[in-house]
Amino acid sequence: MATPKFSSKSPTIRRILREAAEISNSPSADYTAEPLESDLFEWHFTLKGPPNSVYSNGIYHGRIVLPPTYPLRPPSFRFMTPSGRFEANREICLSISGHHEETWQPAWGVRTALVALRSFMETDARGQLGGLETTDAVRQRLASESPAFKCATCGKTNGEIIKECEERAKEASSCAQEVEIPKELNMGWRDEMGAKKEGESKPEQTSDDAETAQLAEGFVQTAPDADTAANDSLAPQPPAENPNPAPTRTTPLPVPAAQGLVPQAAAQAQAQQARRATDDGVPLWLDRTIVVLVVLLVALVLKIIFAV
């Protein structure tokens, strides 16, 4: 298989092409992986069994599926060759302890994952779902039969692929560097991880889908998390101040009956206000005229009385 040529500005595509070129330019005699010509996100890998184990004579073939958000999320693997350790054609997802793929480190790549997966073959299944418990004799028999396994897509047997890989490694001017397996890197089954997330709310799933769609286009979200933004939007917001407050109507409060002086004072105040309103309507000259007439009338009455 030849490395496909794509022209894209997507960081995901550039990362995949860079990893494919790195594996091709620095081949290893123990493993190899290449993307399909028809799908850049699907790779096929072939690796030797770990040395000094029941798998040492085995050569195993499988598929790698890269997510649209790679390398922000881990690739999934499945062995196509029976090994007696892993169930054939079942997805294996690499993640850190606890099988939380969100904590996958983008610095890890396909080469690191292949080396880790190869080392995981020596671990015990311990009743894990998808892991196979069988005798060493069965695993040794499957290992001896594995070089003849032929992938229909690749069109070559496992033995032929590894032989070409060993020849490229000898011809290469620089051998592939030893890859150190991170201590945090662990293995989990895809369906187990999905079962653990069944209790999550639908809004969280919706936000994950939106994030996946954005990252698939090559954008990395730098804004606050969608869940945090959603919680902030649900929080009570203080009412905005109105620059032009509407006038309010004043309603007098009822006065308790026990306070007898209060109603009287209120009645007197209302009477004074009524008189003031009435007085305000009489002209000043009319008041003076009335006063003069009253004085004259009093003087006339007194004159009549004293004259008698």
What value does the mean pLDDT take over residues 48-58? 94
3-state helix vs strand vs coil in the chain, percent to 5: 40, 10, 45
Here the tokens at position 299 are 């003087």
Q: Read off the pLDDT of residues 222-241 as tens digits, 9 standing for 90 and up.
A: 344 444 444 554 455 544 44
Here the tokens at position 29 are 């005699």
- Active-site pick, 93, 151, 165, 175: 93
Write down the domain spans for the chain. Answer: 11-220, 272-307
Beta bridge partners of 44: 34, 63
Alpha-carbon span 48 to 159, nearest angstrom = 10
Q: Read off the pLDDT of residues 163-205 as tens digits, 9 standing for 90 and up.
A: 999 999 988 865 555 666 666 565 555 555 555 555 544 444 4
Choice among 78-92, 130-144, 152-166, 207-221 with the minimum mean pLDDT: 207-221
Q: What is the pLDDT, as a whole number, of residue 7? A: 52
Q: What is the pLDDT, as a whole number, of residue 150? A: 96
Q: In sequence order, which residues have a C-beta less than 8 Å from that of residue 211 and are 6 or more positions away?
A: 69, 221, 226
Alpha-carbon span 161 to 80, nearest angstrom = 15
Q: Read off the pLDDT of residues 251-266 as tens digits, 9 standing for 90 and up.
A: 444 444 444 444 565 5
11-220 CATH choice from 3.40.1410.10, 3.10.110.10, 2.40.30.10, 3.40.50.10860: 3.10.110.10
- CA atoms within 13 A of residue 75's CA, in its CB half-sphere: 28
Q: Read off the pLDDT of residues 78-112 as tens digits, 9 standing for 90 and up.
A: 999 999 998 899 887 666 444 556 667 888 899 98
Q: Which residue type sits at 118?
A: R
Choice among 16-20, 78-82, 254-258, 288-292 with the minimum mean pLDDT: 254-258
Q: Would you call 154 a catalytic residue per the annotation?
A: no
Residue for token pair 């989990």: 188
